[in-house]
Structure 1
Amino acid sequence: MSTPQNPAPQAAPAWQAAPGPSYPGYTSPIPVVRTHLGNAVASEWTKIRSVRSTMWTLGVFVLLVIGIGLLTAAVVAANPTEGGTDGENPLAFGFFGLLLGSICVITLGVMTTASEYGTGMIRTTMVACPSRGRVLAAKAVVFFLVAFVVTLVSCLFVALVDVALLTDARDPSTGEWLKGTVGVSLYIALLGLLSLAMGSIIRHSAGAITIMIGLVLAPLVIALFMFSSSLEDLREALFEYSIPNQMSVFYSTSLTETGPAGWDPLWIALGVTAVALGGAFALLEKRDV
């Protein structure tokens, strides 16, 4: 009986052959580029303009600023009194609408960051851009520019119409025009940026919005109920540094005779916002998403 012989080994199929010069590695036709802050800014711009809440919030803001600002000036112009508006700054009538509209900017600032934590979208964002600081910086840049431009356009429109309506009022100086349009717009944008930082710190939309609205209204309301003479100094400080009073400084109609003046409210807002953003950056790097 013959012994079976082992069959001769067969060559491996071509698709199983070891890689070599005849099988070069795959090269993607899509160029690989290093990402930077501009890419994150483009992403955040796409987010903020594609969300319906942005349009609704900014729409209500514009409606309040323009509607109340023009209505106030129209009522004053239609009901002249003795002395009329002689010596008054006609730009000051835009203050009332801007004070109410600031609540919309605060809400949008908080939602720009906190809403992603509520939906869990922040995880996707961090996967797409692992640099957490870059993500927060991009959100801050996009939001600040949007808030500033929308506020500036609204305030400038109200200022031009109010000056035309209130013919008895004095002509604002160049400095008053600058403060009543650019200055107050920068202040409102910084207030919204502070809200954005608070949303990143708190990570809860309702909680952060409540804190920011309290920051705007609470000092003034608390001061109104401080009747004791021993609390006079505290009462004056709350009045002077309350956000409504600081906003009125841009229209030369401060609620108090002392306290911030000129461009002081803008520097105060800039300092507070910088501290809040620094805290938001630090916490974002330490905490899990």
Structure 2
Amino acid sequence: MTTPPTPQAPYQQQAQQHPQQNWAPAPTDLYTSPIPQRRATLADALASEWTKIRSVRSTMWTLGIMIVLLLGIGLLSAVAVNASDSEIGSTKVLSFGFFGVLLGSICVITLGVMTIATEYGTGMIRTTLTACPSRARVLSAKAIVFFLLTFTITTVMTTLVAVLQTAILDGGTASGDDWLRATVGVGLYIATLGLLSLAVGALIRHSAGAITIMIAVVLLPLVLAMFMFSQSLADVQQALFEYSIPSQLGGLYDASVSTSGPSGWEPLWIMIGVTAVTMIGAFASLESRDV
């Protein structure tokens, strides 16, 4: 019994009759995606990075611990001072938020590094750069999303702590500039410090190494200055005291560890300058190195 031949499409029959010619399927047989195609934009990168940062557990834990530190230490310090019946000025009431912010900054540093360094550790950065080949756009989106998130949370929490401390302690009314620096100024400073951590993470591409470097940047200058007893190192000691990050942060509260260090809004400008230079290096490194 003979099997009947299988019916062939017209273009297959033509290909068999004229094997020297290249025959392609008819245009009607090609698949056309119903999804509209367009060029990716910065808004798409921002949406992608927002999805990443809000869906990982490290964001919840680091920012959650930071909120607990800001609120808990701020209220505990106010209660302790109130119980001691000490005389305090109007500006000093706001300065008690310094201790919680200093410890909470470690959480922001950790999250800033992990925002980019974790992708190098897991290899996810390859997928990210495949979906968005513009490396400058990827780093810009990470920086914008991270900065806005940390600035918003830090500013809201420092404002809440300042209001509660003012209610607990009867120290008079602080000026508008004092309130602005202790809330918005501190929020900008901590968010910019987080951006510095993100830039270091992009340069180092290793979470543990970048976090260690940033913690050393925050704490090591002040620790070194405390153990410089030689008179020949007096100028170096004074500079470390004045420009260490705890001293700069205290300057925003008018509670710097050094009386001659940066005060008012100067610490914020210093941090913005250092972060801008480091971010430029991170952009250049990301463009020049392989993944």
TM-score, normalisation: structure 2:
0.91
**C-alpha distance in 2 between matches for 1:261 and 1:88:** 13
Q: Which among 43, 52, 61 is matched to residue 56 of structure 1?
A: 61
Provide structure 1 residue ranges, at least 5 long, that are not aligned to the other structure.
1-10
Corresponding residue of 1:91: 94
**1:34: Cα distance to partner?**
1.4
Q: Which among 10, 13, 24 is matched to residue 9 of structure 2?
A: 13
After superposition, the C-alpha distances for 1:178-237 in whole angstroms (9 at most, x for unaligned) are 000000110000000000000010001000000000000000000001111111111110
Aligned residues: 277
**1:85: Cα distance to partner?**
1.5
After superposition, the C-alpha distances for 1:69-117 in whole angstroms (9 at most, x for unaligned) are 0110011112213xx2145421111000000010000000000010011
Counterpart of 1:143, as a letter, is: F
**C-alpha distance in 2 between matches for 1:232 and 1:175:** 33
Percent identity (aligned)? 61
Corresponding residue of 1:108: 111
Structure 2 CA distance for partners of 1:122 and 1:85, relative to 1, 3 Å: same
Please provide the CA RMSD for this pair.
1.8
Structure 2 CA distance for partners of 1:208 and 1:269, relative to 1, 3 Å: same
2:280 aligned with 1:284: no
**C-alpha distance in 2 between matches for 1:287 and 1:69:** 44
**1:133: Cα distance to partner?**
0.9
TM-score, normalisation: structure 1:
0.91
Structure 2 CA distance for partners of 1:181 and 1:95, relative to 1, 3 Å: same
After superposition, the C-alpha distances for 1:139-159 in whole angstroms (9 at most, x for unaligned) are 000000111011011101100
Given that residues 37 and 138 in structure 1 are in contact (C-alpha distance below 8 angstroms), is that contact kept between their aligned partners in structure 2?
yes
Given that residues 112 and 139 in structure 1 are in contact (C-alpha distance below 8 angstroms), is that contact kept between their aligned partners in structure 2?
yes
**C-alpha distance in 2 between matches for 1:88 and 1:178:** 12
After superposition, the C-alpha distances for 1:238-267 in whole angstroms (9 at most, x for unaligned) are 000000000001111122121212111111
**C-alpha distance in 2 between matches for 1:42 and 1:114:** 19
After superposition, the C-alpha distances for 1:49-86 in whole angstroms (9 at most, x for unaligned) are 000111001000000011000110011112213xx214
**C-alpha distance in 2 between matches for 1:162 and 1:47:** 35
Corresponding residue of 2:247: 245
2:81 aligned with 1:79: no
Structure 2 CA distance for partners of 1:272 and 1:22, relative to 1, 3 Å: closer
Provide structure 2 residue ranges, at least 5 long, that are not aligned to the other structure.
1-6, 15-22
Q: Which among 152, 156, 159 is matched to residue 153 of structure 1?
A: 156
**C-alpha distance in 2 between matches for 1:107 and 1:37:** 25
Given that residues 251 and 262 in structure 2 are in contact (C-alpha distance below 8 angstroms), is that contact kept between their aligned partners in structure 1?
yes
